[in-house]
Amino acid sequence: MVPLVYFQLLSAGLFAIGMYGVLARRSAVLIIMSIELMLNAVNINLIAAASHLEGVGRFAGFDGQIIAIFVITVAAAEVGLGLAIILRIYRNRGTVNVDEIHLMKW
Amino acid sequence: MSWFLFTILAVLTLGGGLGVVLTRNVVHAALLLLVSLMAVAGIYLILLAEFLALVQVLIYGGAIIIVLLFAIMLTRSDEYPRIGDNRQWPLAAVAALALLGVLSAAFWIRSPQDTQIQSPAFADLGNSLFTRWAIPFEVASLVLLVALIGAIIIAQSKGEER
Report yes or no: B112 and A53 within 8 Å, Cβ to Cβ: yes
pLDDT at A67: 92
Q: Where are the alpha helices (DSSP H) in chain B?
A: 2-22, 26-46, 50-56, 65-74, 89-110, 122-130, 134-155
pLDDT at B162: 46
Instruction: Give yes or no: residues B9 and B65 share one domain.
Output: yes
> What single DSSP character describes residue A97?
B
Angstroms from B161 CA to nearest CA on chain A? 17
Q: Is residue B60 part of a domain?
A: yes
Asked whether residue B78 carries a pLDDT value surpassing 80, the answer given is no
Q: Which helix (H) or strand (E) holds A1?
A: none
Q: Is residue B110 part of a domain?
A: no
Q: Which residues of B touch A90 (CB under 8 A)?
A: 74-75
Nearest CA to A28 among B29, B162, B103?
A: B29
What are the tens digits of pLDDT across the range A66-93? 999 999 999 999 999 999 998 888 888 8
**Spatial separation of the C-alpha atoms in residues B32 and B52, rounded to whole Å:** 21
pTM for this entry: 0.90
C-alpha B135: how far from chain center: 24
Option in A27, A44, A81 nearest B43 (CB)? A44
A49-53, A57-61, B154-158: range with highest mean pLDDT: A49-53
Q: Mention every residue, 6+ apart, whose C-beta is less than 8 A from residue A16.
A: B96, B97, B99, B100, B103
CATH classification of the domain holding B17: 1.20.120.1200
Mutant choice from B1, B9, B40 vs A, greatest count of A C-beta within 10 A: B40
Domain boundary among B13, B43, B78: B78
Whether residue A99 and residue B103 make contact (CB cut-off 8 A), yes or no, is no
Instruction: Give yes or no: residues B131 and B69 share one domain.
Output: no
Instruction: Give yes or no: residues B4 and B69 share one domain.
Output: yes
Q: Is residue B109 part of a domain?
A: no
Whether residue A5 and residue B111 make contact (CB cut-off 8 A), yes or no, is yes
Q: Which residues of B touch A99 (CB under 8 A)?
A: 86
Q: Is residue B50 part of a domain?
A: yes
Q: Is residue B93 part of a domain?
A: no
> What single DSSP character describes residue A96?
-
Domain boundary among B78, B100, B133: B78
Q: How many domains does chain B have?
A: 2
Domain coverage including residue B40:
1-78
pLDDT at B83: 65
Q: Which residues of B touch A72 (CB under 8 A)?
A: 55-56, 59-60
**Spatial separation of the C-alpha atoms in residues A48 and B43, rounded to whole Å:** 9
Q: What phi and psi, each to the nearest 5 degrees, are found at residue B93?
A: -65, -40
Nearest CA to A59 among B48, B55, B139, B112?
A: B112
Report yes or no: B67 and A78 within 8 Å, Cβ to Cβ: no
Query: Average per-residue pLDDT in chain B?
Result: 87
Instruction: Give yes or no: residues B127 and B61 share one domain.
Output: no
Q: Is residue B83 part of a domain?
A: no
Mean pLDDT, to the nearest integer, of B105-119? 83
**SS3 assignment, position A100:** coil
CATH class for the domain made up of A4-93: mainly alpha
pLDDT at B94: 94
Asked whether residue B161 carries a pLDDT value surpassing 50, the answer given is no
- Residues 25-54, chain A, touching B (beta carbon < 8 A): 25-27, 29-30, 32-34, 36-37, 40, 43-44, 47-48, 50-54
Q: Is residue B58 part of a domain?
A: yes
Asked whether residue A37 carries a pLDDT value surpassing 80, the answer given is yes
Report yes or no: A9 and B6 within 8 Å, Cβ to Cβ: no
In chain A, domain spans: 4-93
Asked whether residue B55 carries a pLDDT value surpassing 70, the answer given is yes
Rg of the Cα trace of chain B?
20
Instruction: Give yes or no: residues B1 and B62 share one domain.
Output: yes
